[in-house]
Structure 1
């Protein structure tokens, strides 16, 4: 009795690696530096763009926290991710041969804004706001580069004290948008956030910028980056990582770029983030 061909194919499929049974979907994620709705609006469009450019299915996978983004990358739940400087370093340390392949043009010289509720009386200055001593202060996410790592580094450098010693109360909002909302409402007197989120709020005419004003800007540092796993060429073919890099650098649709917001993407390497790794180790934020 001849076995039907469909049964033979089914049996064969059970013996093959999952990746070989069908064309793999490339999954990517991003650190949740803003609310989930805005992130999905941004990255679902990016997924469509990459699908067209690469000729393979690409899907965006939302995550709930910065550590969750790193874990998803480590566990191969996503193969590509839009990380901050620190989370990118963390992810690359956990995945052999993972590499940064692109960054926004603005990410070469990123800055953090320190903002204060207008009721504090603090105003913008080129000097660190020493008058904020004893006030309440919120970072963003605990492993955010622009919302925690670099603000804490500069607080320590400028004051000679840990944040908990300089400020009266210290907390973590979870993301940049929330930092802006909380400082604007007066729940926290002072906070630190990603400059692009604040500038976007100004462009959008958000009411929060009326009561949460910039008081100090950090010196520049490298930040966000696209990082890809080191095993993607073995799965999608030789040179696939380079193709992804070329697709990201070639992203010139104003709607896609404005959503980040970035003016363009440029090539990046792991070495670009050596300063972030050094500071992360100094502050004991890297394992």
Structure 2
């Protein structure tokens, strides 16, 4: 009887280990760009992580920034790409259990830009009394930090501008400014540069009128209850992505990264302070 029980327990343990190996590892990202662009960016990274983790990896899109936060807080996904503000929200909502693993080197000194196609608008002050678009309300680079720097210059958005709009995503902000729906817009500098490089916008027609000072931004975050062995594998996988191989070059280009570096909660204290000062946290 004892032997049979031991055998049964061993089989259960083996089945549990096999399930752990075959369980789907889910990845999500804040929807700061169009769904097709997010899926395109995720595909080679997902394939790479499958090899590094030795299990099935799937990209799980979400409808908005808040859904990305809730998905990781409630462990519906295992890994999430957050902006600085959404990380701060997730860290707070989870009681400190959402932790950042890595960020792009670029995220140590990230910036936002304000753009306009109105010939009369050359500075932020010139936007007074006109329509301004942010991205998502939960966006770090498309709302929180642009708002923070506007307030530093004495421009309270709801009072300084005729109308404040929220486009929902950085590419949508560019479209709103380019079409003349709004006089100015604030967005992520890397998305702006990608649109310029891909000739999707003419920088002679739609111009950058202000570039913000640098701040910490995006990161890949996990829940603290994800086993440490998996967290270590993930960190090692991201840190191993170095230019020079076709696989790494494709992933880094799509992620708009020169390389990934370790990060920590303390890096986002400035974002947390800005959110509290703006009444957004």
- State if a TM-score over 0.5 links the two structures: yes
1:216-227 equivalent positions in 2, closer than 5 A: 216-227=210-221
1:127-146 equivalent positions in 2, closer than 5 A: 129-146=124-141
Q: 1:112·1:195 contact (CA, 8 Å) conserved in 2?
A: yes
The counterpart of 2:239, out of the listed 241, 249, 253, is 249
Q: Deviations over 1:94-152 (max 9, x none)?
A: 234321110011000000000011x34223xxxx5212111110000001000000011
Name the counterpart of 2:148: 153
CA distance in 2, matches of 1:18, 1:138: 50
Name the counterpart of 2:93: 94
RMSD after superposition:
2.1
Q: 1:120·1:189 contact (CA, 8 Å) conserved in 2?
A: no
Name the counterpart of 1:171: 165
For structure 1, the residue ranges without an aligned partner over 5 or more in a row are 1-8
Per the alignment, do residues 85 and 19 of structure 1 end up closer, same or farther by CA in structure 2, a change over 3 Å counting?
farther
Q: Deviations over 1:236-279 (max 9, x none)?
A: xx422121111112123111111121111111011111111111
The counterpart of 2:267, out of the listed 272, 275, 281, is 272
Deviation of 1:44 (Å) = 1.9
Q: Deviations over 1:49-93 (max 9, x none)?
A: 101111122111011111111111112111110100000111122
For structure 2, the residue ranges without an aligned partner over 5 or more in a row are 1-7, 243-247
TM-score by length of 2: 0.88
Deviation of 1:17 (Å) = 8.4
Per the alignment, do residues 21 and 73 of structure 1 end up closer, same or farther by CA in structure 2, a change over 3 Å counting?
closer
TM-score by length of 1: 0.87
SS in 2 for 1:266: strand
Q: 1:103·1:268 contact (CA, 8 Å) conserved in 2?
A: yes
Per the alignment, do residues 211 and 19 of structure 1 end up closer, same or farther by CA in structure 2, a change over 3 Å counting?
farther
1:102-113 equivalent positions in 2, closer than 5 A: 102-113=102-113
